[in-house]
Structure 1
Amino acid sequence: MRIAVLLAATVTTGMMAGLFYAYSISVMPALQRADAAVFVEVMQRINTAITNGWFLSCFGGALVFGAISTILYAVSGLAAVFVPALIGLALYAAQLALTFGLHIPLNNALDAAGPPGHTADPGAVRRAFEPRWVPWNHARTLLCLGSFAAFCWALVQA
């Protein structure tokens, strides 16, 4: 059971790393070339579409499986697995802190601006969002990648 939970932590963390990476290398560079109204509308649509069971199962599952896995290996006394699992959990938790502390508030502010056609200045909405959201998305991509690597390391040790 320990390996199955560790594998679930690894897979869900890897999927989150891949999601954030896709934004870094394709979604945001593509939107960078769009005008402000299009940018705001697309990001608002993404914010709505992403809150689905598949996303939430990986987003929350990585934390839950990572925590359970870390506890199981701490109790078992297998330090060679516990240490990288703990590192993976800590890095994923850091990504969550960044997401809840910065990305979700920025997404909420973007959504609160209303539809771009009814917003007085979509450019101002974009300027309040994009310069902070994009570089910190790179940071959470790296945090998730580090978490994924640590969980992979734990799997090799298991």
Structure 2
Amino acid sequence: MTMLALALITLVLHGALTGLFYAFSMSVMPGLNTLDPARAEEAMRGINRKILNPWLYLVFLGSPVAALVAGFVASSVWFFAAAAVNFVGSFLVTMVINVPMNNAVDAGTMSWKEYSPRWTAFNTLRTVACAAGLVLVGIGLTAL
């Protein structure tokens, strides 16, 4: 695989993940907030079950891995920076904050009123981090 192809794949993965998180903060969560809290919780439980699929894993795990590989292949600090920003701002935030909150809503131990604003705030942080990673990949691409 050429470096250009690897860099473009990395760019697409970062763009897809940024778009996924953006869509949740800007449309999915506000839409769910228009529902009765019990219905919103039920809908979110369904979303959380269905989102766990190979396409999510490809984008979610593939973004930082592709950036890291591109950083090694191109000897580029831009790709390493993208991998780091994505790992901390997307992967760690997801695993430490968003997933435990999803589990709490699934178990019925967290109310929608508690869940929605906090989850959305951290999701927006993931969006910003992924967008920053996308910009870093773009800079790395132009530096090839």
**TM-score normalized with structure 1 length:** 0.85
Deviation at 1:29? 0.9
Identity rate of aligned residues, in percent? 31
Divergent runs of 4+, >3 A? none
- Aligned residue for 1:34, secondary structure, equals coil
Q: Match for residue 113 of structure 2? A: 127
Unaligned runs of 5+ in 1: 75-81, 114-121
1:39-98: CA deviation from partner (whole Å, max 9, x where unpaired): 101100000110111111111111221111111122xxxxxxx12112211110112111
- d(CA) in 2 for partners of 1:15, 1:31: 22
Amino acid at match of 1:98: V
Q: Match for residue 156 of structure 1? A: 142
Amino acid at match of 1:3: L
Pairing of 1:133-152 with structure 2 (within 5 A): 133-152=119-138
- Of 83, 92, 96, the residue aligned with 2:91 is 96
Q: Match for residue 101 of structure 2? A: 106
- d(CA) in 1 for partners of 2:19, 2:10: 14
1:87-144: CA deviation from partner (whole Å, max 9, x where unpaired): 211110112111111001111111122xxxxxxxx9x521332231011111110000
Unaligned runs of 5+ in 2: none
Q: Match for residue 119 of structure 1? A: none
**TM-score normalized with structure 2 length:** 0.92
Deviation at 1:5? 1.6
Higher alpha-carbon Rg: 1
- RMSD in angstroms over aligned alpha carbons? 1.4
